[in-house]
Amino acid sequence: MSDLEEAYRLDYFDEAGFTRQECVSCGDMFWARVERDTCGEPPCEEYGFIDNPGFDEAFSLSEMREVFLSFFEERDHTRIDPYPVAANRWRDDVLLTQASIYDFQPLVTSGTTPPPANPLCISQPCIRMQDIDNVGKTGRHTMAFEMMAHHAFNAKEDIEDPEQYAYEGEVYWKDETVQYCVELFEELDADISDLTLIEDPWVGGGNAGPAFEVIYRGAELATLVFMSLEQDPDGEYEMKDGNRYSEMDTYIVDTGYGLERWTWMSQGTPTVYEAVYPDTIAFLKDNAGIELTDEEEAIVHQAAKLAGRMDIDEAEDIEQERGTIAETVGVDTDELVELMEPLEDIYAIADHCRTLAYMLGDGIVPSNVGTGYLARMVLRRTKRLVDGVGVDAPLDELVDMQADRLDYENRDTIRDIVRTEVEKYRETLDRGGRRVRQLADEYAQRGEAIPLEELVELYDSHGIQPNMVEDIAAEKGVDVDVPDNFYSVVAERHGGGDFPGEEQGVPYADRIVELPETDRLYYDDQQRTEFEAVVLEVFDREDGDFDVVLDQTMFYPEGGGQPPDHGTLSTDDVTAEVSDVQRYDGVIVHTCDTDPGKGEFARGQVDAQRRKRLMQHHTATHIVIHSARQVLGEHVRQAGAQKGVDSSRIDVSHYASVTREQVKEIERLANDLVQDNVTVSQQWPDRNEAEEKHGFDLYQGGIPAGEQIRLIQVADDIQACGGTHVARTGDIGTIKVLGTERVQDGVIRITFAAGNAALEATQTTEDALYEAADVLDVAPPEVPETAARFFDEWKARGKEIETLKEQLAEARASGGADAEEVEVGDATAVVQRIDADMDELRAQANAVTEQGDIAVLGSGLDGAQFVVSVPEGVDVDAGEVVGELAGRVGGGGGGPPDFAQGGGPDADALDDALAAAPEILRSVANV
């Protein structure tokens, strides 16, 4: 018997009468109290609870949640409040919360920090983007869901140093976990003879272990994972992902009970969506005008029981499965599709709106990266579904329905974000449609289908949905390769749960680990700049400098966006300049230009002026983001920061541009806090206590490790921070916001200066204003009005020049003596040399085309330049013509079929190229 098989044999199974059996359909091994042929899970069996609820009582979501949590509270589990759906708020290796165990990875599961309680229970909102293409089709998949769970964190006692972990001993393990699960079913009066537990080893996030999928009447209601293995190239166990694993010193009970499916089981509705979103589904059906006859309702009802076959992750051919369902219920496949697809879209809209409410409610701002990208993807897909099924309610209202049900307080902001995104989407579609037509033409010429890579790029760059590409491509006779799991593919490519690679080390990493952690004196007194220390080690660098390790230091190492301190290290013999300070695994390394000598007694002197400026800017960073949240909204969170001695910048998540009035208000609030001269305090609380009291907004600048974390408090703003700070806000002097800019969609950069740097920045701006005033010969306050007047006059002259150029172009087009007219099939082409700039050349070409003729114009003003314009309905590709002409003058060019330009350096060959234009035109037109 293998070790893995032995892992599933429990004393509880023997005591409770469960036996190990094999499914005749799929071959999986499972445990049940009665003899069965199959494992009970679709497609091996159909759903057996629709119209036949699995529990004696029907529950709503909130009622079922309370049943679960109360059940485990009565069994000595502590109820824990749910975490946000944005997992990157407390960890830096994933984006979204996909399971309750995400709340405790990696610090708790590794034993680095203790759990908030042990054992515990929770009902954790989750989002699984990989399920997006199944939502609505299978009847059971929801992208947004609550994972009810109970967890126990255990650590082996028979190891060399059990105290190295934040918890020790065993709370409970497999037998108790399975027993709790069965007892919960019994408490709900379930028929245990319908219960099966399928053996299914689990892997994920570098961990693994045996697991049971708990199936009841065809629905998977729970997964019981026993996390006991960690990835190890030399491990003795090879798991289903192909990697090897070894046993951990900690071992974790990791369970997941899908709240929505338990609620569905209690009601026996045709799909999970009627159980979870009854009001929303009814509203959407009514709004879209979806009304079914009794006969159609019966067909839909029958099909719902078979919908488990429509899982894109398991079915080999979704369309074939649809046909099988149609045959089973006795209707034509096209008739079933016509009935089911609008309903499937309605179900997906309800689910996606709930997903958006979770994401936007928890402060995720749509953007082009990370969680923001995923939120935008969901929003745009939802908008397409809404429009396609004929729902005319604004999307922000539909999302607000879910936000209201989830009790979010920032509903006005959520609606504003949705409205803003919908408008951006409209603009993007207008631009993207032109690119799709161009792409369709390219693949039509090749005689190839548009591949998946192009679809993903169109979606990423322009927000173009695959169905829009299909429609436009069909007009050109081009096929499109759209996989059933398109959105899952896109989500996966944008970090739906990737883990980062290993951090890059230093050449002497093996010697650093042997050194003790450096005592960080800068936390004891941040104003102090002198200290004494012993040189523990000196490493030679390839660049000729030296990396010096001391037993203690006042030098702050680079981190959290704060540059390192500079200064000197002096012994009796040498004085070394410190140009860089870094920290590796708790050991602080000082880069010096001289070797102070291993074992020497050294005196350190931090550059006090640089330290002061860095402290002012770091504390000002906390104040600026605090002020920005007050002005722009609580969704504002730090997306990056860099402190400096002359200025600093902070990137914040925000969905719109920042107005000048908002900038002034942020600056005013920041300086009010400076003038209040409040204390800037530091404290080292227990991590769990800090998170429970202040939430995950603590981690604006990164996620620190350890059981205790350092908090910096400035008035009402509290953040986990490892940087150096002034003692009181008044020590900053003043804060000046220098400007804001959008560095990427959904992220605004605020640049500011503090202290003397703020004064210097203000003086620099004033110098520029006075210089402009001198140039304009006006007083400084008159500069804006004078500049505006000059600008208006300049624009007016520019328009006048453009008008004259157009008039000249029209005159030449109607009677240019040097113009040659060429017959190209049924069309006429005007070939002409005009030595003018490109603006005039384009204007001339447009004038010719407006008369219905092809324009082929050349200019020798700057090398040899060409413009070709083709009127609508003429079968000549302007891009091909320009390419041929430009090649004859040593260059290149191109463009869409109706208008193209290009050129080359050989102006002497211009006339010969134009002389060849008639031949080129006829060749391109196949005349």
pLDDT, tens digit, 9 for 90 and up, residues 121-144: 999 999 998 888 888 878 788 999
Q: Which helix (H) or strand (E) holds 590?
A: strand 587-592
Residues 325-349 have a mean pLDDT of 86
For all residues of the chain together, what is the average pLDDT? 88
Residues 68-88 have a mean pLDDT of 95
For 697, counting Cβ atoms within 10 Å of its Cβ (0-12 exposed, 13-18 middle, 19+ buried), the class is middle
**Predicted pLDDT of residue 270:** 87
Q: Is 880 helix (H, G, I), strand (E, B) or coil?
A: helix
Interval 852-886: pLDDT, tens = 899 999 999 889 999 999 998 888 999 999 999 99
DSSP assigned state of 221: E
Residues 683-707 have a mean pLDDT of 85
Q: Of 435-439, 658-662, 921-925, which gets the smallest average pLDDT?
A: 435-439
If one counts every other C-beta atom within 10 angstroms of the C-beta of residue 161, the result is: 7
Residues 154-179 have a mean pLDDT of 90
For tokens 């289908």, the residue is 449
Residue 222 pLDDT > 90, yes or no?
Answer: yes
**Predicted pLDDT of residue 801:** 66
Instruction: Dig out the tokens for 407 from the structure.
Output: 């009790």
Higher-confidence position of 565 and 705: 565
Residue 694 pLDDT > 50, yes or no?
Answer: yes
**Predicted pLDDT of residue 1:** 36
Query: Distance from first CA to last CA of the chain, Å, rounded?
Result: 80
CA distances from 447 to 154, 451, 481, 500 (A): 61, 12, 14, 40
Instruction: Dig out the tokens for 525 from the structure.
Output: 């007194």
Q: Is 810 helix (H, G, I), strand (E, B) or coil?
A: helix
Residues 656-660 have a mean pLDDT of 92
Single-letter amino acid, residue 550:
L
8 Å CB contact between 747 and 722: no
Q: CA–CA separation, 156 vs 172, rounded Å? A: 12
Single-letter amino acid, residue 99:
A
8 Å CB contact between 839 and 805: yes
Single-letter amino acid, residue 850:
E
**Predicted pLDDT of residue 509:** 81
User: E strands, 462-540, where?
Assistant: 519-520, 530-540
Interval 13-45: pLDDT, tens = 999 999 999 999 999 999 999 999 999 998 888
8 Å CB contact between 541 and 574: no
DSSP assigned state of 54: S
Q: Is the dihedral of CA 157, 163, 166, 167 positive or negative?
A: positive
8 Å CB contact between 268 and 49: yes
Backbone angles phi, psi at 827, to 5 degrees: -110, 165
Q: CA–CA separation, 590 vs 95, rounded Å? A: 34
Q: Is 297 helix (H, G, I), strand (E, B) or coil?
A: helix
**Predicted pLDDT of residue 738:** 93
Percent of the chain with pLDDT over 90: 54
Single-letter amino acid, residue 98:
Q
Q: Is 603 helix (H, G, I), strand (E, B) or coil?
A: strand
Q: Which helix (H) or strand (E) holds 345?
A: helix 333-361
Q: What is the pLDDT confidence band of residue 295, given thresholds at 50, 70 and 90?
A: confident
DSSP assigned state of 86: B
Interval 726-756: pLDDT, tens = 999 999 999 999 999 988 778 899 999 999 9
Residue 645 pLDDT > 80, yes or no?
Answer: yes
Classify each residue of 545-568 as buried b or exposed e, where b means 16 or more C-beta atoms within 10 Å of its C-beta.
Answer: bbbbbbebbbbbbebbbbbbbbbb
Cα 267 to the chain's mean position, in Å?
35
Instruction: Dig out the tokens for 389 from the structure.
Output: 């099924």
Interval 386-437: pLDDT, tens = 999 999 999 999 999 999 999 999 999 999 999 999 998 888 777 767 777 7
Q: What is the pLDDT confidence band of residue 312, given thresholds at 50, 70 and 90?
A: low
Q: Of 433-442, 565-574, 839-848, which gets the smallest average pLDDT?
A: 433-442
Q: Which helix (H) or strand (E) holds 244?
A: strand 244-258
